[in-house]
Amino acid sequence: MKKKRKLRPETSPAPEATVSGELVQIFGLGVFIFGDSGIGKSESVLELVGRGHRLVSDDVVRVRRTPDGRLRGRAPELSRDFMEIRGLGIINIKEIFGARALCAESDIDLAIRLRKWQRGREFDRLGLRFPKDHDILRVLVPQITIPVAPGRNIATLIEIASRVHGLRRRGYQASREMVRRLNKALRTGRREGGGAGERRQRNDAR
């Protein structure tokens, strides 16, 4: 079931804003990626574009809220089609990957925060907690936080997070299925354990 957009009750601000981050279409979802400067947002998006996903905007996104409460994002006119990559400078995505690698405008369906992994900082490991929401123009967008550390392929994790979100919108959560399996195994174990105990008592009586 598709989750309805949640609007904060406060007085609505102007319906447009420029926000810092990346916007890319992944498996048909508009994914807004944000985080600290230098954490690897643009490099991860470049890898995603190389895998066939579509860039909407790099570095900053122009966002507007539609009358029905959706968020639509696009690139500012000046930076459209371009990305800035440390070590390479400004690159033209259209010239490198072709026009199909670009998307002029997209809904924003999911926000992904890239956060540097630190020892002692708690991250959700089971997916039992529903993601926090990210506030853009008083519209609350589901947010997933991905810890960034050496050796982790962030582009792959962003792809999987997008798949996970798509499944959640259809009502499926792997963590809940795992809990159901665990509960079933515990119930079966109790029944089998109880039967074994009864057999031992009968043998002792003999």
User: CA angle, 25 as apex, 24 and 27 as ends, to 5°?
Assistant: 140
Domain boundaries, the chain: 6-172, 173-206
Q: 173 or 89: whose pLDDT is higher? A: 89
Percentage of the chain beyond pLDDT 70 is: 79
Helix (H/G/I), strand (E/B), else coil: 198: helix
As a whole number of angstroms, the distance between CA 132 and CA 52 comes to 28
In Å, what is the CA distance from 110 to each residue of 42, 98, 133, 155? 17, 25, 9, 15
Who contacts 15 (Cβ-Cβ below 8 Å, separation ≥6)? 64, 65, 137
Helix (H/G/I), strand (E/B), else coil: 7: strand
3 state SS for 134-150: EEECCEEEEEEEEEECC
Neighbour tally for 201: CB within 10 Å: 9
pLDDT over 80 (residue 196): no
Which DSSP helix (H) or strand (E) runs through 44? helix 41-50
- Residue 1: which pLDDT band, with cuts at 50, 70 and 90? very low
Q: Exposed, middle or buried by CB within 10 Å (0-12, 13-18, 19+), for 183? A: exposed
As a whole number of angstroms, the distance between CA 8 and CA 15 comes to 13
Q: 52 φ, ψ to 5°?
A: 110, 0
- Residue 105: which pLDDT band, with cuts at 50, 70 and 90? very high
- Residues 6-172: name the CATH superfamily: P-loop containing nucleotide triphosphate hydrolases (3.40.50.300)
- Return the pLDDT at 91: 97
